[in-house]
Structure 1
Amino acid sequence: MAFPKPFRVTNLNKALEPDGDWDAVIFIAPNYDHIDNLQIKENIDAHHRIDSRVGQEPLLLISSDIAGGRLIYSPTGPLERDYDDVRRFGDAAKAAAKIALDAGARHPVMVLSGVPDNEDYAHAIEVAYLNFCQALWQPLEAREALTEEKLEPIAEVGIYAPDQTDLDWLAGVESGRRVARDLCGTEPERMSPPGFAAYCEQTFKNSEVACTVISDDDVLRKNYPLLHAVARASTHVPRHQPRVVRLEYTGEGEIQQTLFIVGKGIVYDTGGADLKTDGHMAGMSRDKGGAAAAAGFMKILAELKPKGIKVVAALGVVRNSIGSDAFVADEIITAHSGVRVRIGNTDAEGRLVMADLLSELREEAQQAVSPTLFTIATLTGHVVKCYGQYTACVENGPARSLHLGDKLVEQADQWGDPAEVTRSRREDYEFIKGRTQADDVLSSNNASSAATSRGHQFPMAFLDVASGLAKNGSDSDKPLPYMHLDIAGSAIDGPDIQHNHPSGAPVVALAARYLRSVD
């Protein structure tokens, strides 16, 4: 897996030598005043005298006494304002990565200076590295056609970092983000449901993560009736037939916590019978970002092998096709949980795919040690309207009482993978309540989520009820904490969902929260 591996640099002066191991120096600092290395400062001073852009924008400076003759100075801009955060270093690293690649550098070394001495910037080096890799990733189908060596020639990056910076952990996290980007960002034929499942099987082969794929149509129809309904119009095309992928990791030693993750893996969303129109179908091969992120998190576990934790991920990998056998609004389908679901709109398919899997994991969670359940999905346009490129965390009562959303957001902010906590309210449960004696719950209204009040909150209420989890609320004998993560805005690194790079969100936030953080 060819992403730039981080390599610790302890002697900066040696790394700067023009005939040494490195062929470019990337210098990231807030502004021109934060230069604490004399050699770098003298080089930047010399260029600043003839180019006023120096310190104002990322630039390549030609410096014969610097490694490779290349000094890339990428300023972050101000860091002390109320709204600044560690992503300033990430943005600067992204810009520098592109300059380094275009300039022909293959072994750059990265140096940060002027990092504020507070916890908000405690992981500035790591955030810079992760964003450096984000900028250099190329799509899987392009790498397969043109080779990784040609498209991603930067094989390592030197990190001038203190000893407490865990570069092995960092490389493990990036390996997971790469899996998430590959699965989310690959076109719908290469990453069809069978292709998605095959990628997972190959990724976790001979690893600590067990991978099981369910492909039998009779089994899927019986055990996952909502999921199968979404897939119904695709089942007559072998290469589009649905899959359920189960990934399971059990760490060494006594298990202290168990995570259950359901990922939405809609490999292409036409909208079904409620067809997407006016150009809104483009980019819908990325509607599998939730399942992709869940698989990415499991890849981190496979690499780092943390002790004392068990994680189960269930990925619903389905194509929502249009055809004579497509499911339609008004159908009533009995879910895995036994709840009768009336279909409100076939373009609200992701919650259906996840509800059956969440019901199944709910049964396992009741016997697990310190369980927490998640759904991760590129679910609603409403969340993009509300929060832009931020993940939304919608908690049930037991999760809220444990402040799980706040704890995740705290880590997410420090690691540059930000999120917002949003509340589930009584209106959300009223909205999805069954309207007749024939049905228990309504999947959605027939308007777009972006045009619907509380359009990203009420789907969590649907998932809670349709999966049976509502029976495990704070008022039950067996409360189960559950948090829904809507990543419709954060799964893509930019507003163009068809072309911008997948971000891997919320892989970094989850890894920071559950593999590093101590409550």
Structure 2
Amino acid sequence: MRPKAGTDSIPLTPVTKDGLEGWLADQPAGVRAWVAGIGFKAESGKTALLPGDGGNLARVLVGVDADADLWAYASLPASLPAGAYHIDAGLDAGTATRAALGWALGCYAFTRYKSKNERSFATLVWPDGADRDAVERTATATYLVRDLINTPASDMGPAELAAAAEALGAEFKAKVKVTVGEDLLKKNYPAVHAVGRASAREPRLIDLTWGDKAAPRVTLVGKGVCFDTGGLDLKPSSGMLLMKKDMGGAAHVLGIARMIMMAGLPVRLRVLIPAVENSVSGDAFRPLDVLATRKGLSVEVGNTDAEGRLILCDALAEAATDKPDVIIDFATLTGAARVALGTELPALFCNDDALADGLLASARAQADPMWRLPLHQPYAKMLESKVADLNNIGSGPFAGAILAALFLERFVDKTIPWAHLDVMAWNPSSKPGRPEGGEALGMRAVFAYLEGRYGKKS
């Protein structure tokens, strides 16, 4: 982004399909002929490069939707000729902010392992009225989430995930405590230890706290499985291929934490991340083992590949001890949620209708969608075990996402509003502003809900 428009910046003119004809009516015949000749119809995100005298680029027409689509400007940084551009239109503050955010997200590239980074992006002059603070915190948080997920497991194990949390904490003077290895047993996190003990990379629980202790308490919990082989119930190679992203829930809550701390929301923030690698070794937990949990419930292991809920149950039990106003967890938990809703739509489960309604309203307002699925209590019978308090998988092949959420619900105090987001955390293919790879889904919506509920710091 650049601060101000100048004589060296090229105008970008947003036009809708319905408004194109009116705009062209005021233009010289040569411009009308050029636009008609290249077949520009003002479709969202499409552009028309208009030449000026001497063949220089004089103006760019940008197709936008009437509802000011966030992604209309997102393809431009990479597709336009190098240089500086400014939006040549009077935009309201919300539209200006969305345009700037779309541009910023379109500038993301994961280049950590590239020996040569020749990628360059066109720059945008800050649109008048844009909320720069909002754009910067959202863009930096999204970059953080994407970078963490895109980093291969060789460089993003439990220790490196903890280091990322510690770096974030240091930036905002938050306290970060990490419980590692055998200390998990001493501190009563037995399920986290059981899942992670087979790996040479020790499991750990990351605990970040920030803000006034007297402020309303907001607790975020994120699944941090840094790589998932499936354990002894080994995944096939095709199922293991993307498992570096299985710590996507942890990445999401760190992204939201960054947004909360950058905005200075008047809350007492706590972030809990159980970080493990689900590996295969002689010390791996086994099918039909019975695991202890922090809450005191015993869990029979129906499948070692349903490990995320096992580490989350200890973290959720700990989260409830502070009696926070709200607990929100993110997890790349089930393929069943992807079958039901696809890759772009996180599944929302919630034990409180007011919380669910607020999150869904924010999701619509932020164009960051999610879809509520039910905590259908009659299905809980499918989690019964003959030898333990419950099983970690259902007794049949159906309702996998619901059963996972019902399992987690057993570890949350019923009096605490709780939301669980089952997310893909990955773009299978590239779209404007959303390259193939790690992705933040539901993050903007959750932050907007929290900002609306608790307000800005006075």
Number of residue pairs matched by the alignment: 447
SS in 2 for 1:271: coil
Equivalent residue runs for 1:152-301 within 5 Å:
157-162=124-129, 165-215=130-180, 217-222=181-186, 223-234=188-199, 237=200, 240-251=201-212, 255=215, 257-277=216-236, 279-301=238-260
Spell out, residue by residue over 1:126-155, the C-alpha distance to the aligned partner (whole angstroms, 9 max, x if none).
333333333321226237x546xx54655x
Match of 2:282 among 305, 324, 331: 324
Spell out, residue by residue over 1:343-375, the C-alpha distance to the aligned partner (whole angstroms, 9 max, x if none).
11111111111110111111112xx4xx11121
Q: Which residue of 2 aligns with 1:404?
A: 355
- Structure 2 runs not aligned, ≥5 long: none
Kept after mapping to 1: 8 A contact 2:231/2:304: yes
**Normalization by structure 1: what TM-score?**
0.78
Kept after mapping to 2: 8 A contact 1:204/1:302: no
Q: Give the Å deviation of 1:74.
A: 3.2
Within 2, Cα distance between the matches of 1:39 and 1:198?
A: 58
Equivalent residue runs for 1:66-465 within 5 Å:
69=57, 71-76=59-64, 79=66, 89-100=69-80, 103-105=81-83, 107-110=84-87, 123-139=94-110, 141-142=112-113, 145-146=115-116, 150-151=118-119, 157-162=124-129, 165-215=130-180, 217-222=181-186, 223-234=188-199, 237=200, 240-251=201-212, 255=215, 257-277=216-236, 279-307=238-266, 309-365=267-323, 368=324, 371-388=325-342, 389-396=344-351, 399-400=352-353, 403-433=354-384, 435-436=385-386, 438-445=387-394, 452-465=397-410
Within 2, Cα distance between the matches of 1:342 and 1:258?
A: 33
CA 1:72/1:480 → structure 2, altered by over 3 Å: closer, same or farther? Answer: same
CA 1:484/1:64 → structure 2, altered by over 3 Å: closer, same or farther? Answer: same
Spell out, residue by residue over 1:98-136, the C-alpha distance to the aligned partner (whole angstroms, 9 max, x if none).
213xx223x333456899xxxxxx844433333333332
Kept after mapping to 2: 8 A contact 1:380/1:486: yes
Within 1, Cα distance between the matches of 2:40 and 2:361?
A: 36
SS in 2 for 1:160: coil
Within 2, Cα distance between the matches of 1:209 and 1:296?
A: 14
Within 2, Cα distance between the matches of 1:379 and 1:501?
A: 18
Within 2, Cα distance between the matches of 1:174 and 1:250?
A: 22
In the alignment, does 2:7 pair up with 1:52? no
Kept after mapping to 2: 8 A contact 1:188/1:285: yes
Kept after mapping to 1: 8 A contact 2:229/2:279: yes
CA 1:178/1:341 → structure 2, altered by over 3 Å: closer, same or farther? Answer: same
The one-letter code of the counterpart of 1:444 is I
Kept after mapping to 1: 8 A contact 2:100/2:127: no
Spell out, residue by residue over 1:415-453, the C-alpha distance to the aligned partner (whole angstroms, 9 max, x if none).
1211111210112321212x22x3001101487xxxx32
CA 1:30/1:457 → structure 2, altered by over 3 Å: closer, same or farther? Answer: farther
Q: Give the Å deviation of 1:204.
A: 2.8
Q: Give the Å deviation of 1:93.
A: 1.8
Kept after mapping to 1: 8 A contact 2:220/2:270: yes
Kept after mapping to 1: 8 A contact 2:145/2:440: yes
In the alignment, does 2:451 pair up with 1:500? no
**Normalization by structure 2: what TM-score?**
0.87
- Structure 1 runs not aligned, ≥5 long: 10-14, 80-85, 116-121, 474-478
CA 1:127/1:40 → structure 2, altered by over 3 Å: closer, same or farther? Answer: farther
CA 1:494/1:110 → structure 2, altered by over 3 Å: closer, same or farther? Answer: farther
In the alignment, does 2:457 pair up with 1:512? no
SS in 2 for 1:142: coil
Within 2, Cα distance between the matches of 1:322 and 1:40?
A: 69
The Cα RMSD (Å) is 3.1
Mean Cα displacement is larger for which, 196-205 or 122-131?
A: 122-131
Kept after mapping to 2: 8 A contact 1:249/1:301: no
Q: Give the Å deviation of 1:219.
A: 1.0
SS in 1 for 2:400: coil
The one-letter code of the counterpart of 1:180 is V
Match of 1:61 among 43, 49, 67: 49
